[in-house]
């Protein structure tokens, strides 16, 4: 619930432009954020389904890339979800700061428009 409240409030605040009404820009931001959250979920679901050793960074980059391509709302959702996941995972998984740093690097790479295939491991099925 907090996420949706934040999305609505940020969409109104962040979408200031003279060429379109604020409510239209806010609606676009929210639509992009919801779509970006779906992109992140789809990448996570595919990562779990693939269960392929060494593919973690690829799916991080791909989810962020797909979400950010939707626009500012998608990029915002990708950043919020990625940061929340890494903060939670850092305290639970025991993988350490180095893994978190590498995940965040892949997240930023995808979010900034970098090709996710940079992190694609050899042998990962073409389905993904």
Question: What pLDDT score does 10 carry?
Answer: 65
Contacts of residues 8-13 at CB distance under 8 Å and 24 or more positions apart, as own/partner, are: 10/76, 11/73
Contacts of 44 (CB under 8 A, 6+ apart): 59, 63
**Euclidean distance between CA atoms 53 and 55, whole angstroms:** 6
| pTM of this structure | 0.80
pLDDT tens readout for residues 12-46:
665 554 456 888 888 999 999 999 999 999 999 99
pLDDT tens readout for residues 54-107:
999 999 999 999 999 999 999 999 999 999 998 887 666 667 788 899 999 999
Q: How many residues does the chain have?
A: 128
Name the band, by pLDDT with cuts 50, 70 and 90, for residue 118: very high
Please say whether the beta carbons of 74 and 80 come within 8 A. Answer: no
Question: What pLDDT score does 47 carry?
Answer: 97
Name the band, by pLDDT with cuts 50, 70 and 90, for residue 51: very high
Name the band, by pLDDT with cuts 50, 70 and 90, for residue 1: low
Which CATH number is associated with domain 28-119? 1.10.132.110
């Amino acid at each position: 619930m907090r996420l949706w409240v934040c999305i609505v409030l940020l969409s109104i605040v962040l979408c200031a432009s003279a060429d379109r009404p604020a409510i239209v820009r806010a609606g676009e931001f929210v639509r992009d954020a919801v779509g970006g959250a779906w992109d992140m979920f789809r990448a996570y679901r595919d990562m779990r389904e693939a269960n392929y050793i060494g593919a973690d960074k690829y799916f991080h980059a791909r989810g962020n890339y797909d979400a950010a391509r939707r626009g500012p709302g998608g990029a915002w959702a990708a950043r919020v979800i990625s940061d929340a996941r890494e903060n939670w995972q850092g305290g639970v998984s025991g993988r350490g700061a180095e893994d978190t740093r590498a995940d965040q690097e892949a997240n930023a790479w995808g979010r900034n428009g970098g090709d996710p295939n940079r992190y694609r491991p050899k042998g990962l099925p073409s389905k993904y």
